[in-house]
């Protein structure tokens, strides 16, 4: 029984150390990653637009336009869930 | 007369008469349905779980999961289906193998946006402190007489992450799967109640009014993301490498989460995979997970003291995790000029994005301009990684 | 020369020469394709079944289902796939286990609206009488020398419900699965022919003109549904309890049907589950069910007298079921002031919503204002429950 | 053989009794259910609207509006299959 | 101290230190991710394959596929999952059984349009010549010391069809599955490089300027399709009969392809099946195929001379297949007044529709009015049938 | 070794003969099929229209109309991926 409690305490130590260690590494390497990617990123303005559209493949202005139409038609109750583009 | 006799034998009345506790289970199923439908507690999982309990507890329906034995574990799928019915077939194929939680994590990954975390990376660190509930409840459970494996499976409820709790239970204490799943999903649904409760006794009004945006203006961060798209593609790969090398046993969960995230972030080139991960596979997996987990709960396996202790212990684990996250922020604030709102620590729990919304609402109550949702999401998402890592550690040492 | 010889051996010519009846099966496959594509007889099932027959009957393709033996039933999935090919793998994993019919029932439930039944609950009672074809053909088949199990599997065709017929055949007489499935789906497609035929000889013009709406005005029902949404959510749970306690062996079918219905009626909270049940799982299950059921039909197993008797017996069972439903209404009309159009009895058959549409069309032919679709749907939907219950009774007593 | 026929007759009896019994219970309990739910249902008009919209999560007037637009555009050949709302 | 020691043992550092070649595999995974994401080489398959390599090569994650042994082949699914992890479970259930490639072929069929082939049927003949790379590389590989089975699995890369290559490798040389899949998909992605390369050395400018539309006007074809819809419905059935009788062992691939095509061409009546085949099943199968194939590649199985020879041999097989197609057209042009652009031969390769687009682009470079896409699609699609038939021949003789 | 090479050569012969044979049969029977179907096909113009609409169940003019509207709204970036009809 006692040794089980001992094991539980060891688990507490190892578990919390690991979790803290990993999330510390995530923070550090995430920052390094951002710096490296920034270094190779082209002029920020153009790039940021490209980045934000790539998730759905549709430019934000277009999304805004479609959303506006749908909201007008539906009185704000319908929402655009996804806009798919087809292959050319 | 003989006809009537046979008719009676066909029904479940006899079996229910022999084991009237079955009625308690049916009542529990109805209560869970009420929570899921009426109270909207995580309906995507509680409704299938509750219906699974319902189906499992009509004797003669052959829809309850048979507790694992040496024999059943070595039977083929067809043998299990013929002798024990399709619910056991699904359970031994999809749950007992540990397949569904990683598949659900893949779907979760394909629906997760690491953007808020990347924009406030430092806050991700507080996702670690909120795992303390897992291990403290583990110790208490051991003290109460649970085996180490059982205690670990119970403690993981404090990770506030359904699939992680189920995966850990499958690996360490499959006989407790039912109550652990119920507790995990119920408390996740109760996050809007539990977080304010803990906050009330631990965070002062002055702390609650700490405005993250103003702190950012006072002490601006040096790093600005110039190419978010590319960063979000590389980040899951880096994250996968870090976690996999340090805690390989969490790869089935974390690796699949990050694969799902990667195919989402790549965009249109892998859109088909993203749809499969976040809809096709995810939705089907949710149905089968819910029904089979529910079907493990019969009067014989569910109605005992252990279940009560799990329900109680799960609540304590939740509360301690929130407390741990809050305390970590308070310690940080002692040493740093740039203050962090302790609510950011409370959301280290997991339960994305519910915990962040609750924290945001609390902050707004004290200062209607203090929007901290984006900040809370950072520790919130890192809390998912944190509890999966904690699960990996437990599985690695105990299985 | 040696090369040409080897080339010949690779082809199916030799095997077809040895067993020329294979050509009959290929012709049958083409005929079924014609029915499914050209005549639009239940194309969702007849096309995959027909293509399954086609694939199964090219010797050397290893795409036919091997009749069940002690050995094959205890092989692992990989062993079956390696020795007998992927079609057997799918068959022994999805069909022989009895998995697909309940999954399809879940999808059917997620597409069923109990609204019309709730609005005309009394008419649901006539879904019971239309099961009489099942049991009368069972008796005739026993008299003709079929075993009890075979006779029951044959009789269930009279339930006019594809998945129920397949499920019963799997449980009681898997060697007859092919012809039973073909007969069930063909006659379901022929409902627009069979119902008018029976109606012609059993219902008088005066009866056909009974206008349900006017009867409702003359003798208004006391119960009005005030909260349809909530009623439709609770109804499947109540229904599940009633059926499960009285006939537990029908739970895999009825329970899954009602689970599918519940996640549909809850609405947006469980929309993901509804999509999985009614589309993802349903559509994939339909493909695999069709192909594998088709692949059970080879010359050796299909071309014998039994198949002919099943085709014939299935038709008779259909006709008697319709007749039973009609007679039950006539008996009711003898004792009640409020008359019911006997067409409502004819739709107790199942085959939703085809049977109701056919009944509606017949009624309109005699009185262009006599729209009885909504009334017919009540007994029509209850006919699905009725035949699943009948199947449960048969399985409970015979398996 | 004879006993098989006998068994078949017993099955006929049990089967039809069960089916009639169950559907009778469905009718009875369905009526009871409706009455109970009615008892706790608030003012009917408001409630019915809420009920009918909950299936798709969209109010009937909105559906009508969307449908009308689509029918105009498609000349009545296209139909609105489903209107999804996204989480806020 | 003891805690730190245990902590170290939990990580993968020890295992990586013992087998540093693992790092090479991790680097390979990153390189494949770069090809798939950055270079957009067949991302739908290369990304999951690459991630599979990544997951498999973190020691301790239990996510690598264990090479097949007598013992593992006879274990049940649950036994495999418990002893070897979920990746092996998926591999032995979905890949080793040969299930996924036919399912993917069903999806490919549901996305294929035989219209261009029907409109230029004669050109389909050139899909045959482009299989020569398969057999010439087979012979070379045998000369280099590969076994016949291995040589056949290597040669099939020259068929330029991913699922066919994987299916053949599973049946004949499963230990080479990883590198064969990588080579097949990489070269398919490199078609825009390889075709121009071969074309440059084999087709004269005069030949490249042959305008198919003008040839059609000069020598008009006698056959005009009056009812394309009906023709496209019957065609897959006829095609299925021809292939199945002559090469029954290709039925699992070709039969499923044509079933997928049939349910697409029937139209709205079988729309649900088409969606299941081309989306639900296809997308999920692609994820599982990619991850598990990737997971077969560990340092121990991948890093040897054989892999290099496969990468090299695959390239040669590709080039010879393109060469064969071109030569067949040249021979045709010697004997016919109506000339065919040799680019049509080059697209006999498969790799639909990439090869056709590349050929079209080359033709347009020499004559901006020479659109030959529709013509190229005919031999391109027939190349898929051609390589599936070649695979059937190889499997029939060697397995 | 030699006999293996011999086997490989036999495979080359059988494989290429089979592939050529099958694709020749495909060409021949495809032509026969087209002729047979043509024979029973009604007046071509009407039939071709019917064929082209049956794939999606929507007439081309309708598709054109919907597509035009969507393109106008989205500035050409959104495309109509599929038009489903619901059962009546
Ligand atoms: Na957590
Ligand atoms: Na019925
Ligand atoms: Na090819």
B339 CB neighbour count, 10 Å cutoff: 17
Mean pLDDT of F3-22: 91
Look at residue B6 in the predicted model and tell me its pLDDT.
Answer: 80
Look at residue C87 in the predicted model and tell me its pLDDT.
Answer: 96
User: Cβ separation of B251 and E43 shorter than 8 Å?
Assistant: no
Mean pLDDT, all residues of chain E? 93
Alpha carbon separation from C89 to C32, C75, C127 (Å, rounded): 24, 10, 37
Residue of B nearest to C246 (CA): B11
C343 CB neighbour count, 10 Å cutoff: 31
In this prediction, the residues of chain A whose per-residue pLDDT falls under 50 are 1, 44-69, 71-82, 84-88
Tens digits of residue pLDDT in B22-46: 999 999 999 999 999 999 888 999 9
C251 part of contact set with chain B, CB < 8 Å: yes
pLDDT over threshold 60, residue E211: yes
Look at residue F2 in the predicted model and tell me its pLDDT.
Answer: 55
- Please indicate, yes or no, whether residues F58 and F88 belong to a single structural domain of this protein: yes
Mean pLDDT, all residues of chain F? 66
Q: From start to end of C297-391, where are the E strands?
A: none
Look at residue D12 in the predicted model and tell me its pLDDT.
Answer: 94
**How is residue B238 written in tokens?**
């880096």
Question: Could you tell me the residue range of the domain that residue A13 belongs to?
Answer: 1-44
B253 Cα to the center of ligand 1, angstroms: 13
Q: Please spell the DSSP secondary structure of B236-247, one letter per residue.
A: HHHHHHHHHHH-
Give the number of C-alpha atoms closer than 13 A to the C-alpha of residue C142, restricted to the C-beta side.
21
Mean pLDDT of B381-388: 95
The size of chain F, in residues, is 88
Task: Say whether the D–F interface has 3 or more Cβ pairs within 8 Å.
Answer: yes
pLDDT over threshold 50, residue D76: no
Q: What's the pTM value of the predicted model, to 2 decimals?
A: 0.90
Provide the number of structural domains found in chain F.
2
Residues of chain A contacting B135 with CB distance shorter than 8 Å: 8, 11-12, 15-16
**How is residue B56 written in tokens?**
């499992």
**DSSP class of C156:** G
A13 part of contact set with chain E, CB < 8 Å: yes
**DSSP class of E120:** T
Nearest ligand to the C-alpha atom of residue E352: 3
A85 CB neighbour count, 10 Å cutoff: 15
Look at residue C300 in the predicted model and tell me its pLDDT.
Answer: 87
Q: Which of B228, B244, B257 is nearest to B382 (CA)?
A: B257
Would you say D19 and C386 are in contact if contact means Cβ atoms under 8 Å apart?
yes
pLDDT over threshold 50, residue B252: yes
Look at residue F59 in the predicted model and tell me its pLDDT.
Answer: 44
- For chain B, what is the radius of gyration of the CA atoms? 22
Residues of chain F contacting C6 with CB distance shorter than 8 Å: 10, 14
Closest in B125, B139, B265 to A9, CB measured: B139
3-state SS assignment for residue C42: coil
Q: Considering only residues 37 to 56 of chain F, which have any Cβ-Cβ distance to chain E shorter than 8 Å?
A: 37-38, 40-42, 44, 47-48, 50-52, 54-56
Band the pLDDT of E5: cuts 50, 70, 90. Answer: confident
Nearest ligand to the C-alpha atom of residue B351: 1
Band the pLDDT of F76: cuts 50, 70, 90. Answer: very low
User: Cβ separation of C283 and E263 shorter than 8 Å?
Assistant: no
pLDDT over threshold 50, residue B20: yes
- Please indicate, yes or no, whether residues F2 and F28 belong to a single structural domain of this protein: yes
- Please indicate, yes or no, whether residues A57 and A82 belong to a single structural domain of this protein: yes
Alpha carbon separation from E55 to B267, C373, E289 (Å, rounded): 21, 57, 14
C236 Cα to the center of ligand 2, angstroms: 18
Q: Residue B303: which region, alpha, beta or left (left: phi > 0; alpha: psi -120 to 50)?
A: beta
- Please indicate, yes or no, whether residues F39 and F5 belong to a single structural domain of this protein: yes
- Please indicate, yes or no, whether residues D27 and D58 belong to a single structural domain of this protein: no
pLDDT over threshold 90, residue E239: yes
Look at residue B56 in the predicted model and tell me its pLDDT.
Answer: 94
Tens digits of residue pLDDT in F36-52: 999 887 654 444 443 33
Task: Tally DSSP H helices, then E strands, for chain E.
Answer: 26, 0
Q: Which of C154, C178, C184 is nearest to C53 (CA)?
A: C178
Instruction: Mean pLDDT check: name the lowest of B277-286, C9-18, C374-383, E15-24.
Output: C9-18
Residues of chain F contacting E134 with CB distance shorter than 8 Å: 15
Q: In which residue are the tokens 């990737």 written?
A: E294
Mean pLDDT of E82-100: 95
In this prediction, the residues of chain C whose per-residue pLDDT falls under 50 are none
Domain boundaries, chain E: 2-398
How far does Cα C70 stand from its chain's mean position? 29
Would you say B191 and B354 are in contact if contact means Cβ atoms under 8 Å apart?
yes
Q: Which of A67, A74, A76 to mutate to test the interface with D (most CBs of D within 10 A)?
A: A74
- Please indicate, yes or no, whether residues F79 and F68 belong to a single structural domain of this protein: yes
Would you say D19 and C385 are in contact if contact means Cβ atoms under 8 Å apart?
no
C217 CB neighbour count, 10 Å cutoff: 9
Would you say C206 and C330 are in contact if contact means Cβ atoms under 8 Å apart?
no
Closest in C99, C259, C276 to B284, CB measured: C276
Look at residue B5 in the predicted model and tell me its pLDDT.
Answer: 82
What's the CA gap between E387 and E366, in Å, rounded? 30
């Amino acid at each position: 029984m006692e040794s089980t409690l001992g094991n539980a305490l060891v688990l507490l130590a190892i578990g919390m150390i690991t979790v803290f260690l990993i999330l510390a590494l995530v923070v550090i390497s995430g920052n390094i990653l951002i710096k490296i990617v920034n270094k190779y990123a082209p002029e920020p303005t153009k790039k940021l637009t490209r980045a934000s559209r790539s998730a759905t493949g549709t430019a934000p202005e277009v999304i805004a336009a479609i959303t506006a139409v749908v909201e007008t038609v539906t009185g704000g109750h319908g929402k655009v869930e996804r806009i798919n583009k087809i292959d050319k | 007369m003989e006809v009537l006799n046979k008719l009676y034998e066909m029904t479940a009345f006899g079996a229910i008469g022999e084991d009237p506790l079955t009625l308690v289970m049916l009542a529990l199923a109805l209560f869970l349905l009420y929570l899921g439908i009426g109270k909207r507690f995580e309906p995507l999982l509680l409704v299938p779980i509750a219906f699974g309990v319902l189906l499992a507890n009509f004797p003669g329906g052959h829809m309850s999961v048979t507790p694992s034995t040496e024999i059943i574990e070595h039977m083929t799928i067809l043998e299990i289906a013929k002798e024990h019915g399709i619910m056991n077939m699904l359970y031994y194929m999809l749950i007992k193998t540990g397949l569904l939680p990683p598949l659900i994590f893949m779907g979760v990954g394909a629906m997760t946006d690491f953007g808020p975390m990347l924009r406030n990376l430092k806050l991700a660190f507080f996702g670690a402190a909120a795992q303390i509930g897992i291990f403290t409840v583990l110790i208490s459970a051991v003290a109460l007489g649970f085996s180490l494996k059982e205690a670990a499976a119970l403690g993981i409820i404090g990770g506030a992450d359904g699939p992680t709790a189920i995966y850990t239970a499958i690996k360490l204490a499959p006989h407790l799967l039912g109550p652990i799943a119920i507790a995990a999903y119920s408390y996740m649904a109760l996050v809007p109640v539990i977080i304010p409760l803990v906050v009330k006794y631990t965070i002062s009004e002055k702390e609650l009014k700490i405005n993250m945006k103003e702190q950012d203006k006072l002490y601006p961060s040096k790093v600005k993301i110039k190419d978010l798209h590319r960063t979000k593609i590389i980040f899951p790969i880096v994250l996968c490498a870090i976690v996999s090398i340090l805690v390989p046993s969490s790869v089935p969960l974390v690796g699949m989460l990050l694969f799902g995230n990667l195919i989402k972030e790549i965009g249109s080139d892998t859109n088909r995979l993203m749809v499969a991960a976040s809809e096709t596979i995810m939705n089907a997996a949710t149905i089968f997970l819910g029904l089979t987990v529910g079907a493990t709960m019969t009067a014989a396996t569910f109605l005992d003291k252990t279940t009560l202790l799990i329900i109680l212990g799960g609540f304590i684990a939740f509360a301690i995790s929130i407390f741990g996250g809050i305390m970590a922020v308070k310690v940080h604030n002692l040493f740093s000029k740039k203050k962090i709102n302790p609510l950011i620590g409370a959301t280290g729990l997991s339960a994305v994005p519910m915990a962040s919304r609750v924290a945001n609402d609390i902050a707004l109550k004290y200062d209607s301009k203090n929007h901290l949702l984006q900040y809370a999401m950072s520790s919130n998402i890192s809390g998912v990684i944190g509890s999966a890592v904690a699960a990996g550690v437990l599985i690695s040492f105990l299985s």
